[in-house]
Structure 1
Amino acid sequence: MFTAPRSARWATSAHFFLNGLSFATWGVHVPTFKYLHGLSDAEVALAMLAAGVGALFAVLWAGALIGRLGARGVCTGAGLMTALAIGVLLQLPSYLAGVIGLFVFGIANSLFDVAMNAHAVEVETAYARPIMSSCHGFFSLGGLFGAALASMLAVVDVTATTHTLWVAVGVAAITVMVVPAMLPDRASAADEAAHSFMRPHGVIVLLGTMAALGLVAEGAMYDWSVLYLRESLGSPQALAALGYAAFSIAMAIGRFAGDRIRARLGAMVLISSGGVLAAAAMFIALLIGHPVAALAGFALVGLGISNIVPVLFSCASRLPGITPAHGIAGVASLGYLGFLSGPPMIGAVAQLTSLPVALGLVALFAAALALLARHSARSDGPLRTGSGG
């Protein structure tokens, strides 16, 4: 009787992998985009902001859209839209067209994100045990595969436009192929509210704040880990490049182990423990100030925050009175704010002080996350047991 849930789980895992692959494929070609249009760093930052604004705009309405079309329909449409964006971004004729293209990419990727998480919740319910963390593990694998594929194709002189077209075709093809394996959309008791915009409130704000605190750390590692190793610690480029890799690999490992740990400890205990680990690892690594300590610290930060987003999404999907899609979208909207605002905040503090001092904010936010999760686990609210599955 588990044939349908098992097939749906693989379909959902494929979506997470494709989303991670798409995100990484664009990420490795940001320098290509800059070179093609002769852009300054400020112009690149503005283009990146367009993608972030598109993502935030879409996530606010994702719950309503999924309420109308279902998680399966939105996941399929957004996956195809993401593939199209990946395929054309490097072929657009001007910088303005590129900014518009990135705005659309942000919309597509954000809708894909919320819809695949909403479908993962349905699969998790069918399994009657946690699976959300392992789904997010496939996102991490997709990102690692995307970065490795880009590196390999660059060695054999495959052009950036050819690379992105190949990825776009692959993402589109697999998105269509897995549709029959997805669970059919089911009506819920909250369907009357599913067709409207829902502003984050109540417990959603608490969960979203925790997501934002965790995503500050993820954004910081994405944007600043290599620079810290290279400039603050004087590491050679080959070693500095391992900073984000160590973080990403540890995050993937943590996610694949997270479902079993969550089933034993509960969601809030897992998040609190992860926050403590991330805070302590970052603080000690910065205090030691050695490349080896930094690599180990970044890996432990990745391990600590690996389950923050999947567990919070799962908790948000089970709050009474709202649909899973609205719950996930509410948490995601606040989480995106943390992901987008964290790296510029660290950059501003680094400008005023130093990068090691600025990265201390990661430890501070991780500690705040641990305290919030611990308080939630002790309260009498809906998060007290927090197993989420």
Structure 2
Amino acid sequence: MSINTSTKTSPAIRAAAAATFVVFGINGLVFASWAARIPAVTETLHVTSGQMGTLLLCTAVGSLLALPTAGLVVGRIGTANTVRASGLLVALAGAGLALSLSGESIAGTAVCLFFFGIGIGLWDVAQNIEGADVEHRLRRTVMPQFHAAFSGGAFVGALIGAGLSNIGVGLPVHLLVIAGVVALVTLLTPRFFLPHVAAAAPSDGGPKESKGPSAWRDSRTLLIGVVVLGATLTEGAGNDWIAKASVDGLHTSESTGALMFALFVLAMTAMRFFGGRVIDAYGRVVVLRASMAAAAAGLCLFVLAGNVWLAAVGAALWGVGAALAFPMGMSAAADDPQHAAARVSVVSTLGYISFLAGPPLLGYLGDITGIHLALLAILAPIVLALVLAGAAKPLRSK
């Protein structure tokens, strides 16, 4: 763990930063541990790709139902207890998946994936709110490093999944072990989170939650959400389609397509680890605009390049551009700590809608134009995010 913390920072804040980093990493680990073994699920349940897509939709529906209410949950019980509750739900859902797969039950798998999605959605919002709070206390940008932890955890999870599959360890056993790890880490790690301060009652004489407009009617929050929507579509499209587009558009082998995807992820993860200093030096809006410009340039180079080497440069530049926008959006949504939970929930919901729905829509477009050219459709939300980047300007301290 490499979050840069000053020696002048209090031990409690340093501990909270480390705990948040771990929670982000475990979130990525559990997500990729499942995703890496989806082929094993299709084989176990004897389902087609289309039927597997329907099962995966259960996870998406669960997350999208949980995300709009996550701010209320965090506001009521705090980030630590939300991570504990959501982690337990994910662990129980994982154990249920193991049993359902052992019994080859499609219905049981669908129900467990629905609750898995709810747990992941709540967990995601809570960890981002905690990360934003830690960032405020440290007085420097560290949110990209937390998201780098997620990417790193996902990379490790994918390697574990591939390794266990290679040596013949069954998916039910894998899921049960992951469920145990998730339950243990999410129960113990949040004890180091920053204390939750509930809104005071009027009689307390202390600060209380504003009764103003809903976060869904706050114009700045919605504009930030649109920026994040464009950013998550950029990232999601790269994750889902860059390997396939390399094979179809550049006529490369599947292994070369996989390497192109790995380059995209590596560039994105590296930028998240080191991007905080860039944001602190040049400001959130400037870096956000530069990120979207880099993503657009990288995407165009990847799609229009006539050879693999230029396409590889484009893939790396695309990954660099996609890296920082989402964590910056989370930071911007949490600028006002009093409303952070509700606003992060709104921005996360808009981002997840794009992340989950965008790549399939690109797939449908790809049936008409070919997935390689279909990726150019992402330019529209990228340009929109670039134009609206000013909405992420930090709020002035009151």
TM-score, normalization by structure 1? 0.92
Q: Which residue of 1 aligns with 2:327?
A: 310
1:45-75 Cα distance to aligned partner (Å, 9 max, x none): 1112111111111000001111111111101
Q: Which residue of 2 aligns with 1:352?
A: 368
Q: Is 2:387 the partner of 1:371?
A: yes
1:239-298 Cα distance to aligned partner (Å, 9 max, x none): 121232211111111111121111111111111100000100110121114333333322
1:82-107 Cα distance to aligned partner (Å, 9 max, x none): 23323332431421221111111111
Q: Is 2:85 the partner of 1:77?
A: yes
Q: Structure 1: how far apart are the matches of 2:367 and 2:305?
A: 22
Q: Which moved more, 1:230-239 or 1:101-110?
A: 230-239
Over aligned residue pairs, what C-alpha RMSD do you find? 2.1
Given candidates 35, 38, 43, the residue that maps to 1:27 is 35
SS in 2 for 1:123: helix
Q: Structure 1: how far apart are the matches of 2:224 and 2:274?
A: 22
Given candidates 18, 31, 36, the residue that maps to 2:26 is 18
Q: Is 2:175 the partner of 1:149?
A: no
- Label 1:224 to 1:346 Cα distance change in 2 as closer, same or farther (>3 A): same
Q: Structure 2: how far apart are the matches of 1:348 and 1:163?
A: 33
Q: Which residue of 1 aligns with 2:122?
A: 111
Q: Structure 2: how far apart are the matches of 1:153 and 1:290?
A: 35
Q: Structure 2: how far apart are the matches of 1:255 and 1:300?
A: 13
Q: Which residue of 2 aligns with 1:233?
A: 250
Q: Within 5 Å, which residues of 2 pair with 1:191-202?
A: 191=209, 198-199=215-216, 201-202=218-219
Q: Which residue of 2 aligns with 1:380?
A: none
1:166-214 Cα distance to aligned partner (Å, 9 max, x none): 22212222222313222111135453659x9853541111011111111
Q: Which moved more, 1:142-151 or 1:36-45?
A: 36-45
Q: Is 2:224 the partner of 1:207?
A: yes
Given candidates 185, 188, 196, the residue that maps to 1:174 is 185
Q: Within 5 Å, which residues of 2 pair with 1:263-342?
A: 263-319=280-336, 323-342=339-358
Contact 1:133–1:256 (Cα < 8 Å) also in 2: yes
Q: Structure 2: how far apart are the matches of 1:198 and 1:273?
A: 28
SS in 2 for 1:178: helix
TM-superposed CA distance for 1:28, in Å, is: 0.8
Q: Which residue of 1 aligns with 2:274?
A: 257
SS in 1 for 2:267: helix
Given candidates 103, 111, 114, the residue that maps to 1:100 is 111
- Label 1:293 to 1:165 Cα distance change in 2 as closer, same or farther (>3 A): farther
Q: Which residue of 1 aligns with 2:131?
A: 120
2:385 corresponds to which letter in structure 1? Answer: L
Q: Which residue of 2 aligns with 1:3?
A: 11
> How many residues matched?
379
1:310 corresponds to which letter in structure 2? Answer: P
Q: Which residue of 1 aligns with 2:68?
A: 60
TM-superposed CA distance for 1:155, in Å, is: 2.7
2:121 corresponds to which letter in structure 1? Answer: S
Contact 1:209–1:334 (Cα < 8 Å) also in 2: yes
2:48 corresponds to which letter in structure 1? Answer: S
Given candidates 146, 161, 177, the residue that maps to 1:135 is 146
- Label 1:137 to 1:104 Cα distance change in 2 as closer, same or farther (>3 A): same
Gaps of 5+ in 2: 1-8, 200-206
- Label 1:310 to 1:243 Cα distance change in 2 as closer, same or farther (>3 A): same
- Label 1:90 to 1:358 Cα distance change in 2 as closer, same or farther (>3 A): farther
1:320-339 Cα distance to aligned partner (Å, 9 max, x none): 8x521111101011111111
Contact 2:70–2:345 (Cα < 8 Å) also in 1: yes
- Label 1:270 to 1:256 Cα distance change in 2 as closer, same or farther (>3 A): same
Q: Structure 1: how far apart are the matches of 2:371 and 2:231?
A: 19
TM-superposed CA distance for 1:353, in Å, is: 1.6
Q: Structure 1: how far apart are the matches of 2:176 and 2:259?
A: 28
Q: Which residue of 1 aligns with 2:3?
A: none
Contact 1:251–1:302 (Cα < 8 Å) also in 2: yes
Q: Which residue of 1 aligns with 2:97?
A: 89
Contact 1:267–1:387 (Cα < 8 Å) also in 2: no
TM-score, normalization by structure 2? 0.90
TM-superposed CA distance for 1:237, in Å, is: 2.0
- Label 1:289 to 1:215 Cα distance change in 2 as closer, same or farther (>3 A): farther
